[in-house]
């Protein structure tokens, strides 16, 4: 069965073809980052319009790369939510109109389920059950995953998401948007002893997180500089602040993963979402895994942030378990707000 996946929840247009027999056949992505950069964040209306511009050329690309005609598609999976309403509408209308034209069924996929299952696309996928750390631009959650759609939320952020904390702190250091990768690179050159920032909720004895205080701590450090103006902070000191921030957030994320594994007795940890691409987080989790004897799994780097492959894959997983999950009712409805635990088990 060949599933076309369509992702358009935020600022990436992603399409992919996944074959349940042969695996991922092709994928194509357009990131709007450069377009939103000058506004310091995603502008929803611009995002929707750009999805419209990009979607059909990307569809042609994935078909050409897989060397298949559109008629070979057996079902179409699209991101139904959560995300920006206008952006979601572009992907869902493309999916439903194409499905109508091809006389194939459609399936709305939960974006976070896409992220969560993305490590299963890798060459050595984990088996269920596992603990999942979902660290993206809009979410930070620890989940117990017993199967497709069988998710138990153990804890989540009470305020900012991890990716948001990376981006906001990077912005304070004048590193542009989205600054996660930039602050991570800069931190490599920082002195770990220069600034010790707070580790919010490290000892809270639950699986929740809070990162808005950490961002405020970065702001305080920046403001304490004589120059007052970030442009005047020397590069080395910026790197030191970046290092202080990264060390703090990585320590909290690692500690909560370790305690979730201990609490549940599970031995597998899966990391998903954009911050899962972070080199310091991966190094810290790998070190903890070696010490505490658990295994840690990551998506391929290119599938950490938003992409069509994870949506095609999540759709295929659901359809394999329940062919009735797809519908020929092409009247789509998007779900900009959609808690993951409202999903039904497959
Ligand atoms: P959600 O999935 O919650 O709706 P999103 O789709 O915007 O949010 P993702 O695409 O999964 O989120 O991830 C984007 C986030 O990942 C951004 O905040 C970005 O800064 C962060 N990020 C990406 N690469 C890195 C990295 N190497 N280090 C730290 N953060 C990173
Ligand atoms: Mg994005
Ligand atoms: Fe995402």
Tens digit of each residue's pLDDT, the chain (346 residues): 999 999 999 999 999 999 999 999 999 999 999 999 999 999 999 999 999 999 999 999 999 999 999 999 999 999 999 999 999 999 999 999 999 999 999 999 999 999 999 999 999 999 999 999 999 999 999 999 999 999 999 999 999 999 999 999 999 999 988 999 999 999 999 999 999 999 999 999 999 999 999 999 999 999 887 665 566 678 899 999 999 999 999 999 999 999 999 999 999 999 999 999 999 999 999 999 999 999 999 999 999 999 999 999 999 999 999 999 999 999 988 999 999 988 999 9
Enumerate the known binding-site residues for Fe cation: 111, 115, 306
Mutate to test the pocket of ligand 1, among 305, 336, 339 (most ligand atoms within 8 A of CB): 305
Question: Which ligand has the nearest atom to the CA of 32?
Answer: 2
- Tally of CB atoms within 10 A around 45: 10
How many Å lie between the centroid of ligand 3 and the Cα of residue 232? 34
Q: What angle do CA 274, 315, 15 make, to 5 degrees?
A: 60
**Cis amide linkage into residue 78, ω under 30° from 0:** no
Q: Are 291 and 151 in the same domain?
A: yes
Structure ipTM: 0.98
Could you tell me if residue 11 is inside a domain? yes
Nearest to 99 by CA among 74, 62, 65, 67: 74
Is the Cβ atom of 278 under 6 angstroms away from ligand 1? yes
Its domain, for residue 59, covers 2-117+303-342
Is the Cβ atom of 274 under 6 angstroms away from ligand 1? yes
Nearest to 29 by CA among 271, 303, 268, 274: 303
Q: Are 208 and 154 in the same domain?
A: yes
Q: What is the dihedral of CA 204, 206, 209, 213, to 10 degrees?
A: -20
Q: Are 273 and 319 in the same domain?
A: no
Structure tokens at 213: 């205080």
pTM (2 d.p.)? 0.96
Could you tell me if residue 122 is inside a domain? no
Q: Are 72 and 180 in the same domain?
A: no
Q: Are 202 and 268 in the same domain?
A: yes
Is the Cβ atom of 139 under 6 angstroms away from ligand 1? yes
How many Å lie between the centroid of ligand 3 and the Cα of residue 268? 22
Q: In DSSP terms, which residues pair with 147 in a beta bridge?
A: 150
Could you tell me if residue 168 is inside a domain? yes
How many Å lie between the centroid of ligand 1 and the Cα of residue 118? 14
CATH number at residue 180: 3.30.420.40
Q: Are 172 and 92 in the same domain?
A: no
Mutate to test the pocket of ligand 1, among 14, 163, 247, 303 (most ligand atoms within 8 A of CB): 163
Enumerate the known binding-site residues for substrate: 134-138, 167, 180, 278
Q: Are 95 and 235 in the same domain?
A: no
Which strand (E) or helix (H) includes residue 82?
A: none
How many Å lie between the centroid of ligand 1 and the Cα of residue 119? 15
Is the Cβ atom of 311 under 6 angstroms away from ligand 1? no
Q: Are 241 and 221 in the same domain?
A: yes
How many Å lie between the centroid of ligand 3 and the Cα of residue 274? 7
Cα 56 from Cα 224, distance rounded (Å): 50
Count of structural domains within the chain: 2
Is the Cβ atom of 163 under 6 angstroms away from ligand 1? yes
């Amino acid at each position: 069965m060949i599933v076309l996946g369509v992702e358009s929840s935020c600022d990436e247009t992603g399409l992919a073809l996944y074959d349940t027999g042969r695996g991922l056949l092709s994928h194509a992505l357009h990131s709007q980052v450069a377009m939103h950069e000058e506004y310091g964040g995603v502008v929803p209306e611009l995002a929707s319009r750009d999805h419209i511009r990009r979607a059909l050329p990307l569809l042609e690309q994935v078909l050409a790369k897989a060397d298949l005609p559109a008629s070979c598609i057996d079902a179409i999976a699209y991101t139904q939510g959560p995300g920006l309403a206008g952006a979601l509408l572009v992907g869902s209308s493309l999916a439903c109109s194409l499905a109508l034209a091809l006389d194939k069924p459609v399936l709305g996929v939960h974006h976070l389920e896409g992220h969560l299952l993305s490590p299963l696309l890798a060459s050595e996928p984990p088996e269920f059950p596992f603990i999942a750390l979902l660290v993206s631009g809009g979410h930070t959650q620890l989940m117990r995953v017993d199967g497709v759609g069988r998710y138990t939320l153990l804890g989540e952020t009470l305020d900012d998401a991890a990716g948001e904390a990376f981006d906001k702190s990077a912005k304070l250091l004048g590193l542009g948007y989205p600054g996660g990768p930039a602050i991570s690179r800069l931190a490599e050159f920082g002195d770990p002893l220069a600034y010790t920032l707070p580790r919010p909720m490290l000892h809270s004895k639950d699986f929740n997180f809070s990162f808005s205080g950490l961002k405020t701590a970065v702001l305080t450090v920046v403001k304490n500089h004589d120059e007052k103006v970030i442009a005047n902070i020397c590069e080395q000191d910026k790197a030191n602040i970046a290092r202080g921030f990264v060390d703090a957030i990585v320590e909290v994320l690692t500690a909560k993963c370790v305690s979730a594994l201990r609490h549940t007795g599970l031995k597998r940890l899966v990391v998903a979402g954009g911050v899962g691409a972070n080199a310091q987080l991966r190094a810290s989790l790998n070190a903890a895994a070696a010490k505490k004897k658990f295994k840690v799994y990551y998506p391929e780097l290119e599938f950490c942030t938003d992409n069509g492959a994870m949506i095609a894959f999540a759709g295929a997983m659901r359809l394999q378990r329940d062919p009735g999950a797809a519908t020929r009712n092409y009247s789509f409805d998007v779900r900009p707000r959609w808690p993951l635990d409202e999903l039904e088990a497959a």
